[in-house]
Amino acid sequence: MSIKTICIYGAGALGGAIAAKLANRVGNDASVSVVARGAHLEAIRSRGLSLHEADAETPLNVHLTATDDPQTLPPQDLVITGLKGHQLPPAAEGIASLLKDGTRVVMILNGIPWWYFHRDTRSGHAELQFDELDPDGRLWRLIGPERVIGCVAYQGAEVINPGEIRLSNKGRFVLGEPSGEMSPDLEAISTLMTSAGLSIATTPDIRDEIWSKLMGNAAFNPISALTRAVMTDIMADPVLSAMVGKVMNEVRAVGEALGARFTMTIEQRLEHSRHVGAVRTSMLQDLIGGKALEITPLIGMLAALGRLSATPTPVSETILALVTQLDRENQRGS
């Protein structure tokens, strides 16, 4: 796979960070563009994209092609999406306009992705689609799950000002084909992203990685939004930390019912969470910013897959009802 044209579709906190690092390291060998919008887009156009890395004294600043209309860009060799689950379906046509024969799409998503059951051999539900994640099958039809390379990100990032992103840690990214193949495309994309200074691992079991991260996301994201608490405060509160553990247990039960394998116990995951720091989850960031919350992939699908696999998820369903109402009120207020 030859990668000469790269577009990051959705250059917010995480997508923008990847775009900045790619443009800084591979700009002479490949063209890097971003699709963004609003004040963030205008700042990128006028001042460039600035990235404050966790261990850097001065920010990295890059200038690259930025647009809110993907149809002004040529077809790409590689598209990397930084959009959240609820932002993807409206962007299906825009992403599709960037595709040509052989284009691969790296989808960085929290929670259960729309392509989850494509070529899945463990759950017994291969090729199952969910309208909640992909209304009318637009993503499945216009992009196609066969183009997707899954990506699970362990990287804290936040847009602190338009055109300016801060990373809270030295993160890592795990890439994998839905089929489990360690394909030449997967290797080429991993090599490219590694050359840009990103910490990349590849796996034949991307679904296991999805469930492992969901164990934290399904608990901390909605609870942080409901309480306005950062992760250290959640873990310091006995009632909230116990609720986190209950959600994690439900995630593990549903995941195992669908064939997922977990390498950490609940107790190990809780202990790890106590040392993450005063992190504002992405859902809390969106709540404070008056944006729509990413509910369905994180906790809505946990409840839906619980029903599919006949696995009870009572705590998660209660949290789902509460955070859904919070999102409605937040959207009315904004």
pLDDT tens figures, 123-135:
999 999 999 999 9
Cα→Cα distances 184→80, 144, 176, 263, Å: 17, 19, 12, 27
Same domain for 120 and 101: yes
Same domain for 300 and 193: no
Would you state the pLDDT for residue 216? 93
For residue 130, tell me if it sits in a domain: yes
Residues facing residue 80 across a β-bridge: 8, 106
Same domain for 233 and 221: yes
pTM (predicted TM-score): 0.92
Q: Which residues are catalytic?
A: 213
> Residues 201-235: pLDDT tens digits?
999 999 999 999 999 999 999 999 999 999 999 99
> Residues 59-108: pLDDT tens digits?
999 999 999 999 999 999 999 999 999 999 999 999 999 999 999 999 99
Expressed in percent and rounded to 5, the helix, strand and coil fractions of the chain are 45, 15, 35
Structural domain range at position 39: 5-204
Same domain for 240 and 106: no
Per DSSP, 230 falls in state -
**Whether pLDDT at 334 is above 90:** no
For residue 334, tell me if it sits in a domain: no
CB distance 156 to 168 below 8 Å: yes
Same domain for 300 and 187: no
**Whether pLDDT at 275 is above 70:** yes
For residue 197, tell me if it sits in a domain: yes
Mean pLDDT of 173-186: 97
pLDDT band at 28 (very low <50, low <70, confident <90, very high): confident
Same domain for 57 and 148: yes
